[in-house]
Amino acid sequence: MIRAFLFKMEDEEGMKQIIAMGGGGFSMEPDNLLLDRYVLAQVPTEMPKVCFIPTASGDADNYIERFYHSFRTLPCRPSHLSLFNPNFHELASYVLEHDIIYVGGGNTRNMLVLWREWGLDAILKEAYARGVILTGLSAGSNCWFAEGITDPINAPLYTLRGLGLLEGSHCPHYDGDSERRPSYQRLIQSGEAQSGYAADDGAALHFIDERLERVVSSRETARAYYVKQEGNMVNEQEMPTEYLGDEGAYLR
């Protein structure tokens, strides 16, 4: 496989990247790994080192197993980071030796509390500054923004504070259930959430140096939006989305 390093810049080593998936990837689309392949294609090495962080799921064994099952079929060197059953000697050096950090879904609030207790939040910010690609879905996309929108079981969606690497708010799973879209817009209209980015399952927002460069998708119907307050109304602007197809234009 010939890797396509899509963004040709004079200083590629200093480029900072976040790929925030509304949903999808191996955990939601095990038979459609287009988004995961897209993430791998951003690293200019043949076998990038990918670290999966499943904190939001409580380090669920079956989630970790599914990660390895999928990523061992891809051109990379997969590993995972466990905070519940630590599998490292020194946390910072373990994280920083990877090319990609891939954060799984689950409970965003619990994940961030545990990260801050371990100091992993600061380590991830350092990794980002060094050019390690940060990615993930659901909780793993919420966490990179100033604010994330999350939904506790049997309770309304609410806003929580993320790591703040990207400005504004973020709502994953925008098409995931009927309450997502109206709830996000209501939070923005009430001032409980900043303007920000919504992404359907299967859509990914690719930021370079904190600027949104493109939106890609693993499904033809998946979209992303910028949602903001305008006067007494909420404006939802659909962003151009590039369907990855059958591993075509972006992965060869």
How far is the C-alpha of 43 from the C-alpha of 32, rounded, in Å? 20
Phi, psi of 217 (to 5 degrees): -145, 155
Q: What tokens were used for 161?
A: 């504070």
Question: Strand, coil or helix: what is 25?
Answer: coil
CA distance 201 to 210: 22
**Residues catalogued as catalytic:** 138, 173
Please give the Cα distance from 43 to 145 (Å, whole number). 22
Do residues 199 and 13 touch, judged by C-beta distance below 8 A? Answer: no
Give 93-97's long-range contacts (Cβ < 8 A, gap of 24+). 94/51, 95/51, 95/120, 95/123, 95/124, 95/127, 95/132, 96/123, 96/126, 96/127, 96/130, 96/132, 97/49
Helix (H) or strand (E) holding 126: helix 120-129
